């Protein structure tokens, strides 16, 4: 099965209520884990795309016990 993936740039990604996902190709410039009492574990990322648009991104970290290699 062949799928047609259209890759978007970071500057073109805008929140849209009818669209729940998009494909972006980025390079991770820096990443670190942070813990707060309110949010718990989170993974912080600084990412960049081909147009060198830099962005800051925060995601909730998945504990190591749930990762499969």
Q: 4 pLDDT exceeds 70?
A: no
The overall average pLDDT reported for the chain is: 69
Higher pLDDT, 20 or 53: 20
Higher pLDDT, 24 or 54: 24
As for how many domains the chain has, the answer is 1
Q: What digits encode the pLDDT tens for the residues 28-58?
A: 888 888 887 876 787 787 878 777 765 655 5
Residue in 39, 43, 38 with CA at minimum distance from that of residue 56: 43
Domain assignment of residue 62, given as a range = 28-69
Q: Is residue 23 part of a domain?
A: no
How many C-beta atoms lie closer than 10 Å to residue 10's C-beta?
Answer: 18
Name the CA radius of gyration of the chain, rounded: 15
pLDDT of residue 67: 45
């Amino acid at each position: 099965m062949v799928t047609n993936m259209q890759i978007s740039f970071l500057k073109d990604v805008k929140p849209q209520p009818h669209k729940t996902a998009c494909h972006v190709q980025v390079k991770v410039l820096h990443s670190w884990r942070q813990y707060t009492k309110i949010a718990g574990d989170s993974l912080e990322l600084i990412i960049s795309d081909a147009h060198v648009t830099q962005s800051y991104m925060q995601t909730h970290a998945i504990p190591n016990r749930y990762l499969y290699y």
